[in-house]
Amino acid sequence: MRYFIHETSIADDNIKIGKNTKIWHFSHILSGSNIGDNCSFGQNCVVGPNVNIGNGVKVQNNISIYEGVEVEDDVFLGPSMVFTNVINPRAFIVRRDEFKKTLLKKGCSIGANATIVCGVTIGEYALIGSGAVINKDVKSHALMVGVPAHQIGWVSIAGNTLKFDKNGIAIDEFDGSSYKIENDNLVKL
């Protein structure tokens, strides 16, 4: 079998699911959605319609990924985190033509119960703390917490908080890689 979908889940027509991807209990993949290789979806997830998800993405339980959200490779979505797709929803007004694009770039991680307000880009390898509310773009490698979220530091590709020495260099204990800040952005040396 190319991929696995639990018998309690629903996969609509006109979808693409990559090899070795697993979709667990009570999930629904809607028409027009594309899911890459080696992804994992916990129970009670909804994808789409028309959502693109890269390779190696981990989606924990109770997550809906709405139209307008794009997820690049190796992104982690923590349990019960939330996306929105309209800024000013009303039950009595149809706003499908107003969906805002939300982009999660390669390797970023979103903590449990975080909320991502539509129309933002979360940079590569950024780390969003549990319960944070993201309502503006996030820089690559930024460590974000709070409501609304604010940056409290920088993280390595491995997700470790970086501590800078007196020369402005930080070394990640995980793999020995080193980083510095240039023009208010983190650069791997």
CATH code, 42: 2.160.10.10
- Domain contains 180: no
Q: Is the pLDDT of residue 1 over 80?
A: no
Residue % of the chain over a pLDDT of 90:
98
Indicate the number of domains in the chain: 1
Q: Quote the domain boundaries for residue 43.
A: 4-87+97-154
Residue 15 makes CB contacts below 8 A (sequence gap 6+) with 29, 30, 31, 32, 33, 34, 35, 48
User: What pLDDT is stored for residue 84 in this prediction?
Assistant: 95
Give domain status of residue 34, yes or no: yes
Four-residue CA torsion sign, 47, 49, 71, 121: negative
Cα(116)–Cα(110) distance, rounded to whole angstroms? 9
**Residue 108 pLDDT:** 98
In-domain check, residue 171: no
Q: Is residue 160 part of a domain?
A: no
165-177 pLDDT, tens digit per residue, is 999 999 999 999 9
Q: What's the pLDDT band for 182 if we cut at 50, 70, 90?
A: very high
Residue 17 covered by a domain: yes
Mean pLDDT across the chain:
97
pLDDT over threshold 80, residue 95: yes
